Each structure stands twice: as C-alpha cells, then as structure tokens.
Amino acid sequence: MLYQKKLRFSTTGRGTYNITKQITEAIENAGIKFGICHIFIQHTSASLILCENADPTVREDLNAYMARLVKDGDSLFKHKDEGPDDMAAHIRTILTQSSLSIPIDKGKCDLGLWQGIFLWEHRTNSHKRNIAVTIMGE
C-alpha cells in the first residue's frame, strides 16, 4: 500500500516549527499499519530534523549554535544575491536533513518519547514550504 500527500507550511522566519501533529495525522489517514513514513522538503534553504520535543531551550540553544557554526554574511561567501542569510541557509540545510524516514508500528508514528518532527526555516524572512509525505507499508 502507498499513500502520498502534499503539505504546505507558512514560516515566519528563521527557527524551528513543530510539524509532528500534521505528520501523525497523515499516517492515521493513510490506513497503513506497518511501514515507513517518508517526509521530504522541496527546498534548499529549509530542512527537517528530529529534535527533543519538551524543553524549548533545546531549540533555542540549537538555533544559537547553528548561527555561530554557519555565520550569516561570512566573508567566505560569494553567493549573497538574496542577502547575508542566503548561503548560510543552503549550508545549514546540507548539514541537517532534507528528508526523514520514520517507522510506522500498529498504525502509529513510532517516534521515541522525546522525539518531535521539526521544519527548520533557515531564511530570516517568511516563506511557504512544501513537504511531500509518502507512506509505504501494509
């Protein structure tokens, strides 16, 4: 069995957005009991991560860490057509994930207790982000 769905999210600038609920709902709608849920973001300046879902300071620290690791407007960058966050966003995407695959067990998204699914917007401005969900199994 196979189920596909396109999701669209509006971001309000750089940061992490919890999309666990939307993915969990897609899995429940698919009617697939055992298998894999594949989530794919169709952009090169936003990514997907699994992250601790309880304490918001984890994601604050993560954002602060990443901003230091990949500096906006780094003097190394030649690609800056869309501003100092442009090339940084591409690198932040490549250092994280464009897709996640999560097991489905007994019709449920089989995440660990502390795992949440987050869209990570790397651009400083608002964007529309498309995610393709593909669920395969029995």
Among residues 9, 3, 6, which one has the least CA distance to residue 118?
9
- Rounded CA-CA distance 25/13 in Å is 25
Quick one: tokens of 24?
């969990």
Spatial separation of the C-alpha atoms in residues 19 and 11, rounded to whole Å: 12
Q: Look at residue 5 and give its three-state secondary structure.
A: strand
Cβ atoms within 10 A of the Cβ of 114, count?
Answer: 12
Position 29 contacts a second copy (CB under 8 A): no
How many residues bind to a second copy according to rule CB under 8 A?
Answer: 59
- Considering only CA atoms, give the Rg of the chain: 16
Of these, 64, 108, 125, 126, which contacts a second copy (CB under 8 A)?
64
Please, what is the minimum distance in Å from the beta carbon of residue 63 to a second copy? 10
Binders of a second copy among residues 81 to 100 (CB under 8 A) are 81, 87, 90-91, 93-100
4 binds a second copy (CB under 8 A): yes
Q: How far is the CB of 83 from a second copy (least distance, A)?
A: 14
Positions in the binding site for a second copy (CB under 8 A): 2, 4, 34-36, 38, 40-44, 49-52, 55, 57-58, 60-62, 64-65, 68-70, 74, 76-79, 81, 87, 90-91, 93-103, 105, 110-115, 130, 132, 134, 136-138
